[in-house]
Structure 1
Amino acid sequence: MTDVTQTSSSRGTPFHIPMWSDANWIVRIALLVGLALIVVALAAPLIAPFDPNDQSLISRLRPPLGFERYKDGFFLGTDELGRDILSRCIYGLRLTFALALAGSIIGLLIGGTLGLLAGIAGGVLEDLVMGMVDIQIAIPFTLIALLILAVMGSSLDVMILVLGVYGWEQYARIVRAEVKKLIQMPFVEAAQAAGATPLRIAFRHILPNVVSPIVVQFTLNFSNIVILESTLSFLGLGVQPPTATLGSMVGIGRDYLPTAPWIVLVPAAAILLLTFAVQILGDWLRDKADVRLRTR
């Protein structure tokens, strides 16, 4: 009777969520921040107070709420064209998040697939893949991005392609190294002796053990893509105006930093929150996904 009572009470309330209870306080904060940013991004048309591209030159460079010259309704101030900073940040967060997510997934699929094939097949295919990785690492990616954008233009589709190519070599190196290590493990050799096909070995025995480093690399790549998008927008080669991204807002607002710092600080704070949430949650998910930690 006592054991039943203790077990029941340890489960907490009917609304007990294991993922939440297993997380420490900083992970919980990151989870709440991440969920809030996702909700804001998805609900941008519903919660943005103004159209992000509406201009009002008589309201240009108005400061946020609480400062002199604040204009009603523009809680975070206005930019050099009188556009609402809050509305542009909400829509910019939506597009920045979508670009970073799409680029990270594409890079993961390309690099992960090539790394898996290189590690399992070996031989000429492995040499070819690692040669491509060495070439990619040797050439600064900014130059590659500039070349692609100069030849193909700065459309949104091309931007997704550029961001997707970024970082694939890191996935390939990590996955290939993990596969080469795992393929020598007794459980893989036992599966081979039992007649398992290479495809079954790859998906059933190798991939679950590669998830942990891939999750870490995904979060790093996501944050780096946000920064890369900001860099390209700063150079005028990112998403073209008047469409807002967090990076383009920072790049354009730098000229007004001494007189209107809110133009830069607000989107920069949104970038900081986004990368913070992704990094903390990625590190936590890495531990959760690591089969070696679960078996201890």
Structure 2
Amino acid sequence: MTTFADSDILPRCKKNRLDFIQTIAITISVILFAAALFAPLVVPFDPLSQSLMTRLRPPMGFERFASGHFAGTDALGRDVLSRSLYGLRLTLGLAFAGAVIGLLIGGTLGLIAGLMQGWVEDTIMSLVDMQIAIPFTLVALLILSLMGSTLTVLVFVLGIAGWEQYARIVRAEVRRLSSLPFIEAAWTTGAGPIYIAWHHVLPNLISPLVVQFTLALSNIVILESTLSFLGLGVQPPQPSLGSMVGLGRDYMPTAPWIVLTPVVLIVALTFSVQILGDWVRDRADVRLRDR
């Protein structure tokens, strides 16, 4: 007699629920990325335009609602929705730039460590261990305090935030691939490290690197928001999601909508990108594709 636990009903229900969550997350991701990309075309107001006559107006549906300001206005009369969409645009741009820099640094060092081995590998992996051991938020605060909170410095800080994860993944994959017959055959035929890395190793690293890129993107969004919230990230009047939360925290008791919109965007962005990363992993890993 087949029991409920032995049947395939429960696994199918779990799979359908997971597919539903992934569909929602992917939809949210597409909407957020499109809103950030086309922000100049869809925002109702200039995000830097001030109007003291309409300051601290609540969102649509409340008394004293100012026409057109659907998410309300801040302490200087600036439209919260417009600033949030521009802040999303800037935050995503910084996150993408940081993730690409981390990918290039970590991927290159991991590739060198996996191919060269010996003292070169030991040195690189020691740097990886140091990066993991030290809380990076403290390092970021120190760098920004000493070098200034310019966008160039901020991109640099975000770029070195997660390179060690790429290095560990690439190094492990290279070590695994090095033991396979086609790599050993390439070595025996006299192929050099650069040729083997470009033609044999890198094509097999695309899948895990894409997965790590999507997962690292949400972590960098949170880091940028934290630094901007503390006043060491994006500087006023340029809006970012974290700086908007930082500037609006003093008005939480009287005007919570100033903080609500950017917080919702941060949560939706990190959630959807994390689920998107899991979806990419499931599609890229042949061992998980049929489960």
Fold shared by both chains (TM-score > 0.5):
yes
The answer to whether the aligner puts 1:53 opposite 2:45 as a matched pair is no
The answer to whether the aligner puts 1:161 opposite 2:156 as a matched pair is yes
Give the alignment of 1:212-223 within 5 angstroms.
Answer: 212-223=207-218
Amino acid at match of 1:146: L
Superposition CA RMSD, Å: 2.2
Identify unmatched segments of 5+ residues in structure 1: 1-22
Equivalent residue in structure 2 for 1:180, among 175, 179, 182: 175
Conserved 8 A contact 1:119-1:180: yes
Q: Per-residue CA shift, 1:14-59, capped at 9, x if unaligned? A: xxxxxxxxx9443333333222222221222221111111112232
| Offset at residue 194 of structure 1 (A) | 4.3
Provide the rounded CA distance (Å) in 1 between the counterparts of 2:37 and 2:27.
15
Amino acid at match of 1:47: V
SS in 2 for 1:49: coil
- Deviating beyond 4 angstroms after TM superposition, the runs of 4 or more aligned structure 1 residues are 291-296
| Offset at residue 64 of structure 1 (A) | 0.6
| Offset at residue 195 of structure 1 (A) | 4.2
Change (3 A) 1:291 1:207: farther
| Offset at residue 282 of structure 1 (A) | 1.8
Conserved 8 A contact 1:34-1:277: yes
Q: Per-residue CA shift, 1:89-146, capped at 9, x if unaligned? A: 1111110110000000100110011001101110121111112112222322122212
Greater Cα offset, 249-258 or 116-125:
249-258
Conserved 8 A contact 1:209-1:290: no
Other-structure match for 1:106 = 101
SS in 1 for 2:60: coil
The answer to whether the aligner puts 1:68 opposite 2:68 as a matched pair is no
TM-score (norm 1): 0.85
Provide the rounded CA distance (Å) in 1 between the counterparts of 2:283 and 2:189.
30
Equivalent residue in structure 2 for 1:278, among 273, 279, 283: 273
Provide the rounded CA distance (Å) in 2 between the counterparts of 1:79 and 1:89.
11
Equivalent residue in structure 2 for 1:289, among 279, 284, 287: 284
Provide the rounded CA distance (Å) in 2 between the counterparts of 1:127 and 1:242.
45
Conserved 8 A contact 1:216-1:286: yes
Q: Per-residue CA shift, 1:189-241, capped at 9, x if unaligned? A: 23333444333332333334333332332222111111111111121111100
Conserved 8 A contact 1:63-1:69: yes
Q: Percent identity?
A: 66
Q: Per-residue CA shift, 1:263-291, capped at 9, x if unaligned? A: 11111111122222222222222233336
SS in 2 for 1:231: helix
SS in 2 for 1:267: helix
| Offset at residue 76 of structure 1 (A) | 0.4
Change (3 A) 1:140 1:24: closer
Other-structure match for 2:114 = 119
Amino acid at match of 1:94: R
> Aligned pairs, how many?
274
Other-structure match for 1:15 = none
Change (3 A) 1:270 1:260: same
Greater Cα offset, 95-104 or 170-179:
170-179
| Offset at residue 82 of structure 1 (A) | 1.4
Provide the rounded CA distance (Å) in 2 between the counterparts of 1:295 and 1:25.
17
Amino acid at match of 1:26: I
| Offset at residue 249 of structure 1 (A) | 1.0
Other-structure match for 1:229 = 224
